[in-house]
Structure 1
Amino acid sequence: MLADVPTFSSFSVDDVDRALVFYRDTLGLDAEITDMGIVQLNLAGGARAIAYPKPGHRPADFTVLNFVVDDVDAAVEDLHARGVETKIYTDPDLGTDARGVARDNGGPPIAWFRDPAGNVLSVLEDD
């Protein structure tokens, strides 16, 4: 039943106007505030996600959106040029380099960053 129905992801934010500016203007995504007062992200491949306002919002301590890129280093450089900080983890076992990219950790090269509400996002390289 559920395998054949449209699906979207959602996460909370503390300020939809700041979220809109970040996702639309900083990251360059197709984003808008809907009539319901939520930020709708229209993502590549027809996917979508929503960011909804939540009183008492607490940032997700897990990755809520992963952006698959051809070149994680180029993506990190672009994020830095847009004012986005990628080195958010300092755990030595995570193995991130000075720019915040984790490599050779059993998965693809990946860098994490936060939205203005503190939610964790990532760019990761696909083989």
Structure 2
Amino acid sequence: MFRDTKAFSGFSVDDIPVAKEFYGTTLGIDVTEEHGMLQLRIAGGNPVLVYPKDNHVPAEYTTLNFPVDDIEATARELIARGIVFERYGEGQDELGIQRGEGPLIAWFKDPAGNVLSIIQE
């Protein structure tokens, strides 16, 4: 039934103008706004919908993972742009990169508290 549909994901934030500035300027994503909602235009063709919610509760899981070729360089660039990486126990280096089992990954939050990550492919 949905094999050929171009599904897309979405998540809520508590402040659309702040989210637009963060995703567009801080992260450098192509962002459009329509009907009070944002569309993050990322590679792959399907946008990610960011919508306002008065009683927004940040997601307790990673809402967006950004694959990168060089996680250390990307982490340093994000830190230079004011990003603070989250600490989830042991195994993270001074940049916040998890260096245990699995891929190299580092987590940070958007202004609404949603968890995002950079992950080295």
Q: For the superposition of Structure 1 and Structure 2, which TM-score range results when normalised by the shorter chain? A: over 0.9
Q: CA deviation at 1:90?
A: 4.0
* Number of residue pairs matched by the alignment: 121
Q: CA deviation at 1:3?
A: 1.9
CA RMSD in angstroms comes to: 1.0
How high is the TM-score relative to the length of structure 2? 0.95
Deviation string for 1:37-57 (max 9, x for gaps)? 111100012131011000111
Equivalent residue, structure 1, for 2:72: 73
How high is the TM-score relative to the length of structure 1? 0.91
- Runs of 4+ more than 3 Å apart: none
Structure 2 residue corresponding to 1:102, chosen from 98, 101, 104: 98
What residue identity is the alignment partner of 2:72? D
List gaps (5 residues or longer) in structure 1. none
Identity fraction in percent: 48
Equivalent residue, structure 2, for 1:43: 42
What residue identity is the alignment partner of 2:68? V
Distance 2:84 2:8 in 1: 27
Aligned positions of 1:1-127 closer than 5 A: 1-34=1-34, 36-86=35-85, 88-92=86-90, 95-105=91-101, 107-126=102-121
